[in-house]
Amino acid sequence: MLLAVEIGNSHISVGGFDGDELVWVAPIATDTRRTGAQVAMELGGLFRLFGVQAAACTQAVVGSVVPAATQAVLDGLRMMGITDVLSLSSGVKTGVNIKTEQPRQLGSDLVANAAWACGHAPLPCVVVDLGTATTFTVVDESGALTGTAICAGVQISLDALKSCTAQLAGVTLQAPKHGVLGRNTGEAIKAGAIYGTAAMIDGMVARFTQALGMPPHVLLTGGAAQTIAPYIHTPCEQVPHLTLYGLADIWRKNQA
């Protein structure tokens, strides 16, 4: 079994692959104070939860956007006996032609998303990842990663409203009862979060279409994707855990 580990700002997503199939996935809260031993304990708990024999898992691929948490994860994998570990960094074969000005500063999640899009989606393609941040990864018709866009994620925006305003309370990320016309403060916040995010995606894809010269295929992933997807007018293909699939693809390329 191959472990794919995505170290994100809010969660560490761990997925187990049997061949090309993602057979289980679970999140662990990201905490830069966690030690390698603590990571190993949590991995051992996940193995028991999903009935995985530790001896059957000897390979892993790791992508991280939280450098302070990376070493503890690598140490935890080693303590679990997983010694064949590929950590996504410069020099690793990704199969992606990166045409940004500073390729080494590109987040591993964006690279993994582009890698999966290049191998599995019609091109050009835009991957919209609704996670802690909302990211757009643009792959052109030739398969080159030509640019990205990043903005605050929908949950961060809700948290900011709660912490930076005097009279706006926190709300759960869900669709408002009366649609876009909020009839009380809580419903108004939900309307702004849900419909505002959907409208942003529609607007950004329209601009990408103009920049690319043709409409891109749109892939939607991330923790908030299922909530926002029904309100997006642009046709989208939802791919849960797309980044983990992209990491697994990159691992296979490097094995070859």
CB atoms within 10 A of CB 186: 16
Element (H, E) at 238: strand 237-238
How many angstroms separate the CA atoms of 2 and 85, rounded? 10
Query: Strand, coil or helix: what is 137?
Result: strand
* Residue 109 designated active-site: yes
Of 109, 129, 140, 249, the active-site residue reads 109
Burial code (b: 16+ CB inside 10 Å, e: under 16) for 90-117 equals eebebbbebeeeeeeebbbbbbbbbbbb
Burial class of residue 156 (count of CB atoms within 10 Å of its CB; 0-12, 13-18, 19+): middle
Location of structure tokens 């393609």: 125
CB atoms within 10 A of CB 243: 28
How many angstroms separate the CA atoms of 24 and 30, rounded? 19
φ/ψ of residue 66, rounded to 5:
-130, 85
Provide the token pair at 34: 């966690």
Gyration radius from the chain CA atoms = 19
* Enzyme catalytic residues: 109
